[in-house]
Amino acid sequence: MTPRGRGGVGWWRWGREGALALAVAWLSALGAAAGEPLPLSNAGPVLEALAAEARDPGRPELERLQLVRALGEWGTSQVREPLLALLGDPLPSIRAAAARALGWPGNQGAVDALVKRLEAPGEEAAVRAAALQALGRIGDPSARAGVLAASRDPDPAVRGAALWAVTLGALTDPADRATLLGRFIEDEPLDLLHRAQAIQALAPLVDAGSTQVLLRVLEHGPRIAMPLPSATADQREILALRYRQSRDLRAWAALALGERREPAALPLLLRAAEDRGDFFLRLLAVEALNRYQDAAALPVLVRRLGDPFPGVRVSALVGLAALGDPQVVDPVLARLADQVPAVRAQAALTLAELGGPEVRPRLEALLQTEADPRVQQALEAALTKLAP
């Protein structure tokens, strides 16, 4: 290609590297948004060019990996054959990337090759794990027996990928899902995020075996340091906090047991609701206790009215409203002076449930000075409920 004039702009000005970078970005964006082949007449040549570059052993490994990922994000039959060819690449990282890239729903044409890669003697664990992840996304039942066999593999990466495929992926079966989820949850070397997701998936599958799994996790699961977020938390701190919360197995087990209203969990939940090092566990444990509406939780809920995390204070107020014991009016009245509007609002609503001669005058007095509209609305609702 030659330029047409001194100011012309074309691929020639970017050079080979720039053109490929732009093509990768273009295909990644379109492939992620499309979900199916787009009617673009020029997509084929670009895909062929990227596939050729991905196969080139002379290119740096990181660039080849980027190209393989771009082909995978396109995710249609147009890129299947190039990716299948890359399953035989000498580099394990390229083979693993190609296996992952082939994992789009309904890609049955890749199943046999992925199974062969999974069963290849001496294959790297990372490649086998990537093949299992892809099979779990494709969802072809013919691969399930091999994936189940891999769920007993001694390598944690392989075992975890296999368990993910048959519990959280597209190879689930109601007949054994609860059992496999239990195995996944209690396999300590495996990824905490996937184990937490397995707990959430197990929560509605009520059976004696899974209940015991959840009880063991709540009592003996890994403890995660969960300090309170600062008042001026930036995006980085919030993301770090969400990262820890998504992996807090004990907290998710507490919530799951509360959804079941499991009697054997009540003593464990009462202790978890006062765990000093994990405010997220306290929050979910209090929410779980609220489902029981058991008087045994009353003293714990009253103590949690002074919790340093506002969400726990709100949840404790909700629980006290459900219990409806007028003996707790005084500590709930004290929350009308809370610095957090959400706590003050819930305190007003809880007081409407508890009643008592001293409640209405306090709510009317607060309504005269309260500036937050959410609290004002709650106070008006509470006074309406208390009206004679």
pLDDT in tens, the chain (388 residues): 333 333 333 332 333 444 455 455 555 554 444 444 444 345 677 788 888 889 999 999 999 999 999 899 888 888 999 999 999 999 999 999 999 999 999 999 999 999 999 999 999 999 999 999 999 999 999 999 999 999 999 999 999 999 999 999 999 999 999 999 999 999 999 999 999 999 999 999 988 789 999 999 999 999 988 888 887 888 998 899 999 999 999 999 999 999 999 999 999 999 999 999 999 999 999 999 999 999 999 999 999 999 999 999 999 999 999 999 999 999 999 999 999 999 999 999 999 999 888 899 999 999 999 999 999 999 999 999 987 6
Same domain, 112 and 87: yes
In this structure, are 227 and 195 located in the same domain? yes
Asked if residue 300 is part of any domain, the answer here is no
Do 287 and 179 belong together in one domain? yes
Tokens of residue 135, six digits: 């099979």
Q: How many residues are there in the chain?
A: 388
| Nearby residues of 64 by Cβ (< 8 Å), 6 or more positions away | 53, 54, 56, 91, 94
Instruction: Please say which residue of 292, 321, 356 terminates a domain.
Output: 292
CATH number for the domain harbouring residue 384: 1.25.10.10
In-domain check, residue 324: yes
Main-chain phi, psi angles of 315, to 5 degrees: -65, -40
The pTM of this model reads 0.85
Asked whether residue 18 is assigned to any structural domain, the reply reads no
Do 199 and 269 belong together in one domain?
yes
| Cβ-contact 71, 54 below 8 angstroms | yes
**Co-location of 263 and 377 in the same domain:** no
Q: How many domains does the chain have?
A: 3
Same domain? For 81 and 100 the reply is yes
> 153, 243, 259: which is closest to 206 by C-alpha?
259
**Euclidean distance between the first and the last CA atom of the chain, given in angstroms as a whole number:** 87
Does residue 25 sit within a domain?
no
| Separation of alpha carbons 256 and 200, rounded Å | 7
Q: Quote the CA–CA distance of 320 and 212 in Å, as a whole number.
A: 29
Domain that holds residue 270: 174-292
Pick from 129, 200, 208, 210: nearest CA to 163: 129
Tokens 């190879």, located at residue: 171
Residues 209 and 139 in one domain: no
Count Cβ neighbours within 10 Å for each residue of 280-313 and write b for 16 or more, e otherwise. bbbbbbbbbbbbbebeebbebbbebbebebbbbb
Residue 152 and residue 188 share a domain: no
Last residue of a domain, one of 292, 322, 343: 292
Q: Is there a domain that residue 22 lies in?
A: no
Clarify whether residues 199 and 252 are in a common domain: yes
Whether the CB-CB separation of 318 and 290 falls below 8 Å is answered with yes
Per-residue confidence (pLDDT) for residue 275, from 0 to 100? 95
Residues 6+ apart with CB under 8 A from 199: 185, 214, 217, 249, 252, 253, 256
Q: Does 9 fall in a domain?
A: no
Shared domain for 168 and 183, answered yes or no, is no
DSSP 32-63: HHHSS----TTHHHHHHHHHHHHH-TTS-HHH
Residue 100 belongs to a domain: yes
Which of 248, 268, 292 marks a domain boundary?
292
**Is 280 in the same domain as 323?**
no
pLDDT for 21 equals 52
How far is residue 219's CA from residue 215's CA, in Å, rounded to a whole number? 6
Residue 13 lies in a domain: no
Same domain, 132 and 248: no
